[in-house]
Amino acid sequence: MRVIVIGAGVLGASAAFHAALAGAQVVLVDQAHDGRATAAGAGIVCPWLSGSTDAEWYRIASAGARYLPTLVQQLAGFGEHDLGYRRVGALSVASNGRDLDGIEALARARQAGAPDAGDVSRLDSRQARALFPPLHPELEAVHVSGGARVDGRRLAAALCRAMERQGGTRRQGVATLLVRSGCVTGACVGGEAIEADAVILAAGAWAPALLAPLGLTLAVEPQRGQITHLRLEGVETGSWPVVLPPGSHYLIAFEGGRVVAGATRERGTGFDCRVTAAGQAEVLNQALAVAPGLGQATLIETRVGFRPLGPNARPLLGAAAGLKGLVIGNGMGPSGLTIGPFAGRLLAQAALGQPPNLPLEPYDPFRPRTGVSASDTDAIR
């Protein structure tokens, strides 16, 4: 069976890897847009502290967090070890201990059904700073030991290479859908028609443009995120936990002194991928308010990515009813590095006609709008 995957972000790369693993002949096409979300994503994996009220979002996000260690092991079998994945723990921080009571209660309630969340504990400001030294001295924390981080760029690249090692091929270029008699029969890449039994469309915020000519409206828009990478010279930061203050900003550390401060959430920017003065100021002000000890860090770069934002936090996954041969994956918004590796496997299963590990009905890409509000997405990091 031949499967074409359009888009090599974390979702498409995972779908391509899993389809190849299941024995399909895979062609993965990517246009490498500036602003592709996976290349900018921070990499927090900690759904248990999220304030989202959507049970279906939580179901797939927690399944995603649970699946990552399995995928990491699988990729190791293909010689891929450099993913930036590590269970470093997460600190939800606040200056008022009472604000942490609700967060602790939520984490403990979720921990009961998610052993991979690890231990939940309360830390005073001294204990919190012992884990993340630049932190403001007045901040206390709830610590969740299972919190993790992953580098989206390295993970997607590793998935692509592992797919190729199984005989899959990669093409760089612009893909469009080939449609014949109401069925998607392949893709056109750089003027060449490639036939396939199924096409997985994982084109992120750019996907609506591929579906519009078919009369299909996918409710996805780009949400711009500006995110700044700092380096603490000579400091080893690889084991530092993720820091989640109130609001939507955060800090996340990688090896080699790299501390990442994220991120803006901007709608209505279209695909304008400039770093703006206001965006840069917002990210740095928020970061330094939480961690003044970062003041002397070197500013390395600011990345810009477009989160594929659906009508609410719940992803859009599954077949397009009435259009055979097409499977859509999208709408992972701010949690795609958590959900995408697992969701890619679901898309591969759907394309190959295998029963999915999670029922896809709640994630129907063209479902009517649910009662879950769009602002629910703001509660997710």
Ligand X SMILES: Cc1cc2nc3c(=O)[nH]c(=O)nc-3n(C[C@H](O)[C@H](O)[C@H](O)COP(=O)(O)OP(=O)(O)OC[C@H]3O[C@@H](n4cnc5c(N)ncnc54)[C@H](O)[C@@H]3O)c2cc1C
Binding site for ligand X (CB under 6 A): 6-12, 29-33, 36-38, 40-44, 152, 174-175, 202-204, 206, 210, 225, 227, 262-263, 305, 307-308, 332-338, 340
CB of 192 closer than 8 Å to CB of 169: no
Which among 218, 173, 204 is positioned nearest to 273, based on CA atoms? Answer: 204
The position carrying tokens 């010279």 is 233
For ligand X, the closer CB: 32 or 112 = 32
Helix axes 97-113, 55-76, angle to 10 degrees: 70
Neighbour-count burial for 118-133, b at 16+ CB within 10 Å, e otherwise: bebeebebeebbebbe
Residue 93 Cβ vs ligand X, minimum distance, rounded to whole Å:
16
Rounded Cα distance, 314 and 110, in Å = 18
CB of 254 to ligand X, least distance (A): 12
- Least separation in angstroms between residue 320's CB and ligand X is 16
Cβ-based nearer residue to ligand X, 293 or 333: 333
Nearer to ligand X by Cβ, of 130 and 212: the residue is 212
Q: Which is nearer to ligand X, 16 or 294 (CB)?
A: 16
**Position closest to ligand X via CB:** 336
Which residue's CB is nearer to ligand X, number 97 or number 213? Answer: 213
**Cβ at position 337, least distance to ligand X in Å:** 3
Count the alpha carbons within 13 Å of 342 in the hemisphere toward its beta carbon: 24
Least gap, CB of 238 to ligand X (angstroms): 17
Task: State the CB neighbour count (10 A cutoff) for residue 308.
Answer: 30
Q: The dihedral of CA 194, 200, 203, 205: what is its sign?
A: positive
Is 296 strand, coil or helix?
A: coil
